[in-house]
Amino acid sequence: MASNSSLVIILSLVVVFGVMVPRAEARPRAFFVFGDSLVDSGNNNYLLTTARADSPPYGIDHPTHKPTGRFSNGFNIPDLISQKLGAESPLPYLSPELTGEKLLIGANFASAGVGILNDTGAQFLNVIRMYKQVEYFKRYQNRMSSLVGASKTKSLVNHALVLISAGGNDFVNNYYLIPNSTRSQQYPLPQYVKLLISEYQKLLQKLYDLGARRVLVTGTGPMGCAPAELAQRNRKGTGELQLAAALFNPQLEQILLQLNNKIGTQVFIAANTARMHNNFVSNPTSFGFKTSKVACCGQGPYNGLGLCTPFSNLCPDRNLNAFWDAFHPTEKANRLIVEEIMSGSKTYMNPMNLSTILALDATT
């Protein structure tokens, strides 16, 4: 046991230098997720919807080896970003476990099947549409305010990282869902893309108004290359989807730059996930994949028809397939995408990658 004089010396050193006693590490920044099935971590488990991933073999490579509601064999993009942040994955907003200390981690509001437009994904019945996800973000902040106070809640949200993924379903599950769809009769493709960009801009402005200050915004993937589209469409049909992505993604990037210029700081970061995907879709063997056309789980041509179920074909090694099911990447493909999000050049992450963001924010 230290003598009284020794204790006085130790306490004096602590007062003078402030570094002699180890302190608890700072909590990682909160993380909020909005969007569709590419980033849903299980909200649809709590909804009466056909857009769900709560049965095997989903989750076969997750640490639990059980379906979690993620449209993946294992981790999805938000999980892998959370790992880079040194944080737990934010829970689905609808999870009854999202209480108390768990709220400080953030929340995932994403819901499989949704799009930018409210009528997208109507065939899936009950999903959390984008306007509702934003409303839930408000409710989250009210819950946090009652827990830690309004000032700390504002600081937590302002310093948080936000990820949003939307747009793909507005083409696949709306404009091109059926021949002569309502939306395709209303708008030629270029005008439809302008409508989507305009509505997306409103959503992003709402996130900013609610306190979001670092927002990663993904574009659509290479939609025409998904196994579902290869199985169901001819070359002309897949080409139309590729054209849609080619029109949408650059315009999205431009509107993000315009928003940043208007705000006067780099709030919105464009993540060119189409280009990230295209790297391994066009040259799978260079990334250790055997195929980027055939889904691991499914049936029919390219395993691209219907749902991934316990009765579907299932590949024995998920690391050899770029696609897990008819639409969604495998965990390995998600890891490649997150590596580009973390350290990709301006070609992939404009105006900067996530590592640069974290380094900048660490100094403020």
Which residues carry out catalysis?
37, 325, 328
> What does DSSP say about strands 161-165 and 215-218: parallel, antiparallel, or unpaired?
parallel
Q: Which of 350, 329, 328 is nearest to 341 (CA)?
A: 350
Q: How far is CA 263 from CA 51, 260, 319, in A?
A: 36, 5, 42
Residues 63 and 70: their CA atoms lie apart, in Å, by 13
- What are the backbone dihedrals phi and psi of residue 251, each rounded to the nearest 5 degrees, phi first? -70, -35
> What does DSSP say about strands 313-314 and 161-165: parallel, antiparallel, or unpaired?
unpaired
Let me know the angle formed at the C-alpha of 78 by 257 and 66, rounded to the nearest 5 degrees.
Answer: 160
Strand (E) or helix (H) holding 32? strand 31-35
Q: How far is CA 192 from CA 176, 185, 188, in A?
A: 12, 10, 6
Q: How far is CA 327 from CA 138, 165, 173, 265, in A?
A: 31, 14, 12, 35
Identify the DSSP state of 174: I
**What length is written for the chain?**
364
317 Cβ neighbours under 8 A, 6+ residues apart: none
> Which residues, listed in sequence order, are joined to residue 216 by a DSSP beta bridge?
163, 269
Alpha carbon dihedral 196, 269, 121, 328, in 10-degree steps, equals 130
Q: Which of 271, 247, 129 is nearest to 194 (CA)?
A: 247
Residues 206 and 357: their CA atoms lie apart, in Å, by 22
Identify the DSSP state of 43: G
